């Protein structure tokens, strides 16, 4: 494929209304998910979360469950990852064009809605589907997130009893979001499961079979001091 044709395809993949047509074109050209994600500049590290016992529900009304193994993004979704797939970022409530700085920004993406996160996951799911294998891409369920955050360990915070080892918070971040993956990971290799920013999760555990899914830490609801 010529370079200008590839750039046009990338632009369509990031468009709001013609994404599915672009994926269909990728499929007709025999392009793999790795090729398309590489063109978009999307990189992610997925870590395996093992199966095991856990609990769901609120305090005082907990129920024991057995978790299936699944994959989860090692970090919160960054500005760079978001812009690679969506082609825009928020400035307050409004969207703005992507800058060169956005493409390398490893801070968590913020101010995205649940609807926008669903679209982000849907796009990734369609691109992974180019390989002919059905892959579910979604947010982690709240119970999965709790199971993953524990990391198979018994610490006060995710990965340590010392918050400065594993978390950004008001006293050590100057109230600013920090690049992901700078602190110590927990026992499963997940970063920033404590601190830095609030994370969207999915709570419809009973409606979905979570086994085999790629659970992206895909949305930050708001900045957290």
Q: pLDDT per residue over 122-134, tens digit each?
A: 999 999 999 998 8
8 A C-beta contact, residue 20 and residue 123: no
Q: Identify the sign of the CA torsion 125, 143, 47, 179.
A: positive
Stretch 27-35: mean pLDDT, rounded?
A: 95
- Each residue of 66-114: pLDDT tens digit? 878 888 999 999 999 999 999 998 877 788 889 999 999 999 998 888 7
The percent of residues above 70 in pLDDT, for the chain, comes to: 87
8 A C-beta contact, residue 29 and residue 6: no
CA 144 to chain centre: 14
What the block records as the tokens of 211 is: 């086994």
225 pLDDT above the threshold of 60: no
Q: How far apart are CA 136 and CA 132, in angstroms?
A: 13
Residues facing residue 52 across a β-bridge: 67
Extended strands (E) in the chain: 46-49, 52-56, 63-67, 70-73, 89-91, 94-96, 137-138, 214-215
The set of residues, in sequence order, having a beta carbon less than 8 Å from that of 20 and lying 6+ positions away, is 126
Q: How far apart are CA 61 and CA 96, in angstroms?
A: 44
219 pLDDT above the threshold of 60: no
Q: Which one, of 179, 218, 220, lies nearest residue 42 by Cα?
A: 218
How far is CA 2 from each of CA 6, 38, 130, 192, rounded to the nearest angstrom? 6, 16, 20, 40
Out of 84-93, 138-147, 168-177, 208-217, least confident range: 208-217
Q: Which one, of 125, 135, 71, 110, lies nearest residue 224 by Cα?
A: 110
- Each residue of 38-75: pLDDT tens digit? 999 999 999 999 988 777 666 677 777 787 888 899 99
Confidence of residue 167 (pLDDT cuts 50, 70, 90): very high
Q: How far apart are CA 192 and CA 220, in angstroms?
A: 12
221 pLDDT above the threshold of 80: no
Confidence of residue 212 (pLDDT cuts 50, 70, 90): very low
Please tell me the predicted confidence (pLDDT) of residue 142. Answer: 79
Q: What is the pTM for the complete model shown?
A: 0.85
Residues facing residue 89 across a β-bridge: 96
Report helix, strand or coil for 106: coil
């Amino acid at each position: 494929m010529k370079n200008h044709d590839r750039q046009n395809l990338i632009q369509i993949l990031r468009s709001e209304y013609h994404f599915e047509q672009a994926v269909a074109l990728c499929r007709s050209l025999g392009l793999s998910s790795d090729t398309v994600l590489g063109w978009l500049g999307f990189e992610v590290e997925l870590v395996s979360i093992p199966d095991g016992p856990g609990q769901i529900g609120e305090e005082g009304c907990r129920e024991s469950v057995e978790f299936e193994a699944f994959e989860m993004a090692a970090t919160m979704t960054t500005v760079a990852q978001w812009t690679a797939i969506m082609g825009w970022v928020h400035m307050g409530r409004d969207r703005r064009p992507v800058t060169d700085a956005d493409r390398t920004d490893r801070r968590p993406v913020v101010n995205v809605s649940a609807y926008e996160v669903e679209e982000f996951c849907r796009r990734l799911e369609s691109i992974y589907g180019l390989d002919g294998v059905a892959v579910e891409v979604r947010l982690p369920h709240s119970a999965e997130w709790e199971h993953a955050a524990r990391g198979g360990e018994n610490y006060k915070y995710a990965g340590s009893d010392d918050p400065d080892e594993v978390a950004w918070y008001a006293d050590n971040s100057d109230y600013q979001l920090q690049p992901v993956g700078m602190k110590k990971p927990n026992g499963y290799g997940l970063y920033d499961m404590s601190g830095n920013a609030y994370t969207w999760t999915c709570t419809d555990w009973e409606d979905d079979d979570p086994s085999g899914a790629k659970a992206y830490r895909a949305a930050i609801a708001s900045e957290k001091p």
